[in-house]
């Protein structure tokens, strides 16, 4: 039941016709990553690269490239997962459907890892420079492990029960790292390994870390799973994998999955950091070089038939989009249990996940009120922004379930249409001006520092949204090329931004002042100032990506007829978001034209990717 190692999975996917072997030699420098991204965009198969320049290990890409393939990989355990979720959501389900849930206790036995004395992973050793030196984007600071499983344990309460397994990126070489002796461990804020780092720092002792690569596919999913505190990721990997995870225990060392393909062991000096990055990341920009912890390498283990799984990230959608969709399928029903009053939450992948959250909640506080306004959904919004990774959101748009019970939170145009019909910009904006945001988001005031805004709207429609440009629209000097993105949403091309970080932009204030007393934009509740309005308006994904990755709410939201009353900011007319690229922003990811031509050749008639890309 379930795959015990990556090799079993590869064999079965090949027999099913959902894996292609690439026998042509490929370069781990940019080419392999570009191939994987192109095949992902085409909805293509998993890829096994058997001839990698400068490396003796085969590479496996696009394993989780489609939701259908991901479901197939875990087909043996999805019913068990559904049963366990059903028990959590409705404990009476066991009484109502005892036969359907009868196997659940046996599935739960897979939560307990099994300790063993040896395993295939300990058969061979190698060095860091012999591992695949994958570089995904031209300006990356060096080669990275892109599907790592970083394992650590509590210094206070050691053992699997208080362990953490996370997908924190690992830089193998470059910058100031001593080759084969040091590698970089980059983890973002609000991550489990950070607690372990803090405990070690408090005691002034190094702490051990293992980096697993490969092994049962369930390990990779477990490493990105937002689990409740107290549930080890290794336990979840056993549950999803359909068998107890075998862990090799060696005296004085952390346990290692017996069936892992690779394992790098070492220690982190909690007081030492070195520059890590740049790295092309999932927001569609480079995360720049910053100081992060350093792992002093002790050994690099691998199994005899080791396969190196990898992915590349970039502007969504990418393979990590599938991870998110699969995780939502597994856990979506639990959200109302974790956050009472919440009907649904959607972290919008096209906007880089963390920048934009949509939510639907209950609004029951004052049911007898003649005019409804946000009350309970504001309480719910605070709960959402205090929950795990949801706390990193910059924009949270939340509406009331009672206003439109049929509203689908994943129908983004319909959701925004519903909100913009009802929102009152004088009342419905609620800012947190100095707080934490995603480590990878450079729109804020500094690393991990930025702002948030809750946009909460309830009640009857306040306006009809325009679906075409006004014939008499005038724009202030320096602004032009207005384009309709969505009903009620206008993109306007502005001059290049030259304002310093944290300062009001005079061009933006001039834009808003121009419309004081004018009616040109009166029908539009939302105006976005951008560098390229044609690009922004061309697709929904372009609008979402530009608007929410290139703006910091407290600094970049303006309004026509704005005012502050009792420290509450709002505006009488349109809300105006400055979504231009700023001087302090990280550069966007751009494909290398030469590499793209090589990928094109692989997809030409006679090439190994012909008919796939």
pLDDT attached to residue 47 = 98
pLDDT attached to residue 94 = 45
- Other C-beta atoms closer than 10 Å to the C-beta of 330 total 18
Confidence of residue 82 (pLDDT cuts 50, 70, 90): confident
Nearest in space to 356 (alpha carbons), one of 483, 441, 271: 441
Question: Mean pLDDT in the chain?
Answer: 92
pLDDT tens sequence across 351-394: 999 899 999 999 988 777 777 889 999 999 999 999 888 888 99
Average pLDDT over residues 226-230: 73
Q: Is residue 101's pLDDT more than 60?
A: no
Beta-carbon contacts of 80 under 8 Å, excluding residues fewer than 6 positions away, are: 103, 104, 107, 239, 242
pLDDT attached to residue 192 = 76
pLDDT attached to residue 106 = 62
Beta-carbon contacts of 564 under 8 Å, excluding residues fewer than 6 positions away, are: none
Q: Which residues pair with 119 in a beta bridge?
A: none
Residues 88 and 334: beta-carbon distance below 8 Å: yes
Residue labelled with tokens 């550069």:
587
pLDDT tens sequence across 417-467: 999 999 999 999 999 999 989 888 999 988 889 999 999 999 999 999 999
pLDDT attached to residue 90 = 52
Crossing angle of helices 412-422/540-549, nearest 10°?
60
Taking CA atoms, 181 is separated from 172, 212, 267, 296, 520, in Å, by 10, 17, 11, 6, 64
Residue predicted with more confidence, 105 or 478:
478
C-alpha–C-alpha distance, residues 97 and 129, integer Å: 55
Of the listed ranges 123-132, 337-346, 395-404, the least confidently predicted one is 337-346
Instruction: Report the number of secondary-structure helices (H) and strands (E) in the chain.
Output: 18, 30
Q: What percent of the chain has pLDDT over 70?
A: 95
User: What domains can be seen in the chain, in order of their start residue?
Assistant: 6-73+112-310 (2.30.110.10), 335-457 (3.40.1670.10), 480-578 (no CATH)
């Amino acid at each position: 039941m379930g795959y015990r190692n990556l090799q079993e999975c590869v064999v079965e996917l090949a027999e099913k016709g959902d894996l292609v072997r690439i026998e042509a030699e490929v370069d781990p420098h940019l080419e392999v990553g570009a191939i994987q991204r192109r095949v992902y965009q085409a909805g293509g198969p998993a890829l096994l690269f058997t001839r990698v320049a400068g490396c003796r290990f085969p590479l496996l890409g696009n394993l989780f490239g489609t939701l259908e393939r991901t479901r197939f990989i875990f087909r043996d355990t999805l019913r068990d997962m559904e049963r366990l979720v059903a028990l959590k959501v409705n404990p009476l389900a066991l009484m109502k459907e005892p036969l359907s849930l009868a196997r659940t206790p046996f599935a739960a036995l897979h939560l307990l890892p099994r300790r063993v004395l040896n395993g295939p992973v300990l058969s061979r050793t190698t060095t860091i420079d012999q591992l695949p030196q994958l570089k995904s984007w031209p300006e990356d600071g060096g080669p990275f492990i892109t599907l790592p499983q970083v394992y650590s344990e509590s210094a206070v309460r050691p053992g699997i029960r208080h362990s953490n397994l996370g997908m924190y990126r690992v830089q193998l070489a470059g910058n100031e790292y001593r080759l084969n002796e040091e590698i970089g461990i980059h983890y973002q804020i609000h991550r489990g390994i950070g607690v372990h780092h803090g405990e070690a720092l408090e005691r002034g002792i190094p702490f051990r870390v293992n980096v697993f690569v490969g092994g049962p596919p369930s390990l990779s999913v477990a490493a990105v799973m937002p689990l409740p505190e107290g549930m080890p990721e290794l336990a979840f990997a056993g549950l999803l994998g359909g068998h107890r995870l075998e862990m090799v225990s060696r005296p004085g060392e952390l346990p290692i999955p017996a069936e892992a393909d690779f394992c790098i062991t070492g220690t982190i000096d909690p007081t030492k950091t070195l520059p890590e990055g740049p790295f092309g990341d999932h927001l569609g920009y480079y995360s720049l070089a910053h100081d992060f912890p350093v792992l002093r390498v002790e050994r690099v283990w691998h199994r005899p038939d080791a396969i190196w799984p990898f992915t590349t990230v970039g502007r969504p959608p990418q393979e990590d989009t599938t991870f998110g969709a699969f995780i939502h399928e597994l856990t979506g029903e639990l959200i109302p249990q974790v956050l009472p009053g919440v009907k649904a939450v959607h972290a919008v992948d096209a906007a880089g996940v963390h920048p934009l959250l949509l939510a639907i909640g209950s609004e029951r506080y004052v049911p007898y009120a003649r005019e409804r306004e946000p009350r309970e959904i504001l309480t719910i919004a605070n709960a959402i922004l205090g929950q795990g990774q949801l706390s990193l959101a910059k924009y949270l748009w939340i509406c009331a379930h009672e206003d439109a019970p049929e509203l689908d939170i994943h129908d983004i145009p319909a959701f925004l249409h519903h909100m913009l019909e009802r929102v009152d910009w004088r009342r419905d904006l609620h800012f947190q001006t100095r707080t934490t945001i995603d480590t990878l988001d450079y729109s804020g005031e500094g690393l991990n520092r930025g702002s948030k805004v809750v946009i909460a709207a309830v009640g009857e429609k306040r306006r009809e949204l325009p679906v075409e440009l006004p014939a008499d629209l005038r724009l202030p000097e320096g602004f032009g090329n207005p384009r309709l993105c969505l009903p009620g949403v206008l993109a306007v091309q502005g001059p290049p931004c030259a304002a310093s970080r944290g300062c009001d932009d005079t061009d933006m204030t001039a834009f808003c002042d121009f419309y004081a007393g004018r009616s040109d934009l009166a029908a539009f509740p939302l105006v976005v100032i951008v560098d390229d309005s044609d690009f922004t308006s061309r697709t929904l994904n372009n609008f979402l990506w530009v608007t929410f990755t290139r703006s910091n709410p407290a600094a970049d939201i303006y309004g026509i007829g704005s005012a502050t009353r009792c420290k509450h900011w709002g505006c009488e007319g349109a809300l105006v978001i400055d979504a231009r690229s700023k001087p302090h922003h990280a550069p966007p990811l751009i494909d290398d034209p030469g590499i793209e031509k090589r990928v094109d050749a692989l997809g030409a008639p006679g090439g190994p990717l012909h008919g796939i890309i």
